[in-house]
Amino acid sequence: MSVHTLPLPKAGCAEPDIIRERGQHEVFCGLTGIVWLHRKIQDAFFLVVGSRTCAHLLQSAAGVMIFAEPRFGTAVMEERDLAGMADANEELDKVVARLLDRRPDIKMLFLVGSCPSEVIKLDLSRAAERLSRHYSPEVRVLNYTGSGIETTFTEGEDRCLAALVPELTDATSEAPELLVVGALADVVEDQFARLFAEIGIERVSFLPPRNSRALPPVGPNTRFLLAQPFLGETARCLTERGARHIPAPFPLGAEGTTAWLGAAARAFGADPMAFRHATAAAEARAKRALQPFRDEMAGKTIFFMPDSQLEVPLARMLSRELGMEPIEVGTPYLHRAHLAEELKLLGSDVQLSEGQDVERQLDRVRAARPDVTVCGLGLANPLEADGLTTKWSIELIFTPIQGYDQASDLAGLFARPFDRKTRLRV
C-alpha cells in the first residue's frame, strides 16, 4: 500500500534554526519518574538508594499521605555510608530483605541510583545482579539511574524502560507485532488498544505493562511506536533487539493522534477505509471539544523553557490546533530522528533551542513577555513575580494528555493559567 494512502497533515518547516546552549540548567532529577511509573507497573517497587533529600522529593512530588502504602521508598544513605564507615552493599541487602519480607506482593524490584549513590560509586548494577540471583524466580531485581547529575526528570522513565528491554523474551511468532512504548494512563492505553483493534492491528503490546509478568516479546518482526518523545535510550535498546521504529508525530491533540495512529496503520498495511471508520468519529469529537479553547487562545503567545522534552509536540499541537503563537520552543535535548515528523509541522518562524543557559533564556523571556511561559517549578515563581503568566511543565506529565478523548483536557491545562489570572484581577 502506498505510504500516502492515509491522510497526512500539511507540513511546515522541516529545518528550523536552533539555538544551542550549554550553560546552567533548571530541571527536576530523574527520580521524579517514579511518581507515575509506580502507578503503572502494579507489582513493581522502586527503591531509591539515596539521601533524605531524595525521600522528601518523592514524598512531596507524589503527595503521599502518611497512611498510604506506595510502591516506592528510599534506602536512606546515612553519614556512615557516605564516609565509607559501613559496607553499603551489606546495608542495602538488609533493607531489601526487610522490604521483600514485608511486601510479598513485589515481583519486580528496581534499585534506583541517585546523586549520593553515584558520588560514592555504589555499583547498583552488580547489586541488582546479586540480589536477583538470590530472590529469583519470585522477584526480579533491576537497576537504573535517576540521578540529577545525569538525567532530566522524564529521562528517569527512559532509563527504567531501557532496563526492562533485556528482560523481554525473544519473539517467536513470524507475524508482525506492534509495541507501543511509553507509560500511558490505563484509560488512555485502553482507548488506544481499542482503536488499534478497530483499525485491524491485532497483535499490540505496551511497554511498560501493567504487570511485570506480562512483559511483551521483541524481535525482528516487532515494530514499535513511541508514545513519548524522551525515550531515546529505550528506542536504541529495542533497535538492538531487532525491533524497528515507526516514525510518527506524537498523539497530542486530534491531528497528532490521527497522524500517530495513521503511521502505525501504514506500517501494518491496514485498510484505509477501516482506519477512517475507526478514527473519524473520535477525531471529529476531539476537534469539537477543542473549538471553545481555540476561540479563547488563538493569537496568544507562548514560550517553552526546556524541561520535559514534550515541548516540540506541545508547540505543534497548540499552534496548529489552538492557534497559539510559539515564540521559542526550548527542549533539554532535541532528538532529530524521533521528532522529525513533528519538526515538519512547525512553522518557519518558530525559534527552537536545545539545552539551556538559564540566565540568557530568562532574559529572552522577559524581553518577549509572552502570554504564557511553560517552565519548571523553580522558574515559575520568579517569572510570576515579574508579572508573567506561567504553566508548570511537570503537570503535563502527571496528567493523561494523549489521545482523542484527552485533547480537551490538554487544552484545558493551558487555558487554566489565563482563567486564574482573570479571576485574580476580579
HSE at residue 253, side-chain half, CA atoms within 13 A, is: 24
Same domain, 53 and 108: yes
Q: What is the number of structural domains in the chain?
A: 3
Task: List residues bridging with 178 in a β-sheet.
Answer: 204, 223
Q: Are residues 226 and 294 in the same domain?
A: no
The residue assigned the cell 503521599 is 64
Residue 54 is labelled as binding a ligand: yes
CA distances from 195 to 202, 204, 261 (A): 10, 11, 8
pLDDT tens-place string over residues 346-391: 877 799 999 988 999 999 999 999 999 999 888 999 999 999 999 9
- pLDDT at position 423 is 60
pLDDT for position 9: 45
Phi, psi (degrees; rounded to nearest 5) at 175: -75, 140
**Residue 344: C-alpha distances to residues 173, 219, 301 (Å):** 35, 30, 20
pTM over 0.85? The answer is yes
What is the reported pLDDT for 1? 32
Last residue of a domain, one of 133, 151, 169: 151
- Give the SS3 label for residue 38: helix
Query: Which domain covers residue 215, as residue numbers?
Result: 177-274
Q: Are residues 408 and 294 in the same domain?
A: yes
pLDDT score, position 13: 43
- Judge whether 29 is annotated as a binding position: yes
CATH number for position 144: 3.40.50.1980
* CA-wise closest residue to 50 among 42, 41, 59: 59
Residues of the chain predicted below pLDDT 70: 1-16, 64-68, 79-86, 150-151, 421-426
Diameter of the chain by CA atoms?
Answer: 68
Same domain, 49 and 138: yes
pLDDT attached to residue 79: 60
For position 302, what pLDDT does the model report? 97
- Same domain assignment for residues 129 and 35: yes
Peptide bond into 400 cis (omega under 30): no
Q: What is the pLDDT of residue 22?
A: 85
- pLDDT tens digits, 98-145: 999 999 999 999 999 998 888 788 899 999 999 999 999 999 999 999
Annotation-wise, does 375 bind a ligand? no
pLDDT for the residue numbered 14: 44
Q: Cα 281 to the chain's mean position, in Å?
A: 27
- Considering the domain architecture, whether residues 256 and 181 belong to the same structural domain is answered as yes
